[in-house]
Amino acid sequence: MYSVNEKNSFEKGIDDISKLLIKFMLVLVPIILVINAFTTHDFWSSLIFAITIAVGLTPEMLPVITTSTLAKGAVEMSKKKTIVKRLSAIQTFGQMNILCTDKTGTLTEDEVVLERYMDVLGNESLRILKHAFLNSYFQTGLKNLIDVAIIARAEKENLNILKEKYKREDEIPFDFTRRRMSVVLKDENGKRQLITKGAVDEIVSICSFVDIDGTAIELTDELREKVYQVYEENNKEGLRVLAIAQKNEIHDVTTFGVQDESNMVLIGFVGFLDPPKESAKQAISALKSHGVDTVVLTGDSEGVALNVCKKLGIPVNNSLTGKQVEKFTDEELKEKVKECHLFSKLSPLQKQRIVRIYQENGNTVGYMGDGINDSPPLKQADVGISVDTAVDIAKETADIILLEKDLNVLEEGVINGRKTFTNLLKYIKMATSGNFGNMLSVIIASIFLPFLPMLPIHILIQNLLNDFAQIGMPFDNVDSEYLKKPKTWNTEGIKQFMFAFGIISTILDVFCFAILWYIFQYNSIEKAVLFQSGWFVFGILSQTLIIHMIRTSKIPFVESKSSKQLIISTLTIVMIALIISFTDIAAIFDLSKLPMNYLIWIVILMCIYIFFIQIYKKIYIRKNREWL
């Protein structure tokens, strides 16, 4: 069972990556300490250096990038009249590949109209409307759309005068197990009667008699068949049909219970029409094109649900009812849901169970609903979606609130979620691979150099500048192919990426070491500061360049353009790094001004870096069938 407060896949993934980096630090930082202490013979300097490495290699921008990226997504969604209550739900939106939704009000116009009131033989009867009105008017619970429609139609027929002739003595409230509710009324002559309204199966199950032309006749199997024939004919026409029953012979006590709903007389039906929304079909099709299947979970009868789903283009070949669902074990249901897009006559707990089964099949499930009966599945879903007009418990449970009941907003939310997730993934892959590569480079440099490859202050400044270069990442553009299908968190994929591109980063660092050591002859303790200055500027420029290389599987700047914000943030840091390293400002940071011809070698190394990355991109994508 999924806990309401359980972390979603994104939050778990962040934890996994954080733990992985911590493990690497716990293993590699002591190695760096030992190697440097051995080669430099200065334990305390080596200790400070190792601690600085641990601090510097921590992806401290992760909370900033994560929060700002999600906050940007929330702002974008607010422009579409969508309120995000839980920021992490935005990226879960992008991962969603199954959208479970209630029918009433989400797929339909939410304007229920009473179309028919008829006796058990299908003939129009004002008496049925009268009893339906008395039940809806005198019940003290929340009046739903059906009650409102009944009362409105009764007022048109001038039946509202009945409320002066009756007095409520008691009621048996609605619940989702019985699927009916009753009121006990006394008229001005002192006559008492029990009037019950509810789902057809549940009402027929408590009736022993049926009213034919004003006479109560025993409900035989033959009459029951005729009753159901009338119900099914109206149901197939798309009407939501409820049954009305009443009982005059009731005891004199003042308190009534469920046991009193027995031996009743079935008197007729009321039929309602709630047409599908014109925009719903287009929205469902758009979600499908983005890899999101729409599944209907409704408490309504199968016939009404089938009618609506057919009009909206939702497959109905393998629909299931609540009774059928109840008979299946979890393992059997896991197979059934793979081909089923419509579940009808469900209780709230059955809805919750179906959402759970979809999750256990490896899906990321969203649920959209606005009623009391939707709160269990809303809690169960990976992302709960409700509307501003929903009941309080549904709004409290949901992660996202729509200010308009429009499924088209969901498509925009899915795209926004995928943009958010992709930009976060860019940073995580860049940060983990860069940090891993730097660790390897430090170990290699520590083995062969008689001095520290960089001073602690250099590492901290470099780290700070690299952080500022990444500030534009939440605002980056996302290639269209990343928006077509749901993206899920893949910790193993991130590990593979980290190792592969971390090693490439280390190879380029080794090239840089070789140039500084052999070509520029910065190979003595006296020239250590020049070596440190050379690696300092190369590290900043390579880490900045890798942002643009990793952000797309295409050729950066040519086939895929970065956002203005990312270009500005990275270009600014490049300029700052060059000014520090090639002017007298270097001395402020315990660095040494580098010769301008070193800049030529940096350009050469960067071209080699780009070439390696682009070649390996193709190999990586061919092997793993993905980039981000």
* Unique residue bearing structure tokens 């409290």: 396
Rounded CA-CA distance 493/490 in Å is 5
Token pair 């690696």 in the structure block, residue: 535
> SS3 for 128-158, per residue?
HHHHHHHHHHHCCCCCCHHHHHHHHHHHHCC
CA distance readout (Å), 272 to 346, 407, 567:
19, 23, 58
| The token pair that represents 305 in the structure block | 């649900």
Helix 528-550 vs helix 408-448: angle between axes, to the nearest 10 degrees? 160
Active site residue 102: yes
- Cite the beta strand spans of 259-334 per DSSP E: 264-273, 293-297, 320-321
SS3 state of residue 179: coil
Burial class (CB in 10 A: 0-12, 13-18, 19+), 58: middle
In single-letter form, the type of residue at position 203 comes to I
Q: Is 238 left (phi over 0), alpha (psi -120 to 50) or beta?
A: left
| Token pair in block for residue 151 | 């009362």
Active-site position among 102, 119, 476, 509? 102
Which helix (DSSP H) or strand (DSSP E) does residue 187 occupy? strand 180-187
- Distance in angstroms (rounded) separating the CA atoms of residues 12 and 140: 45
d(CA 508, CA 497): 17
Catalytic residue annotation: 102
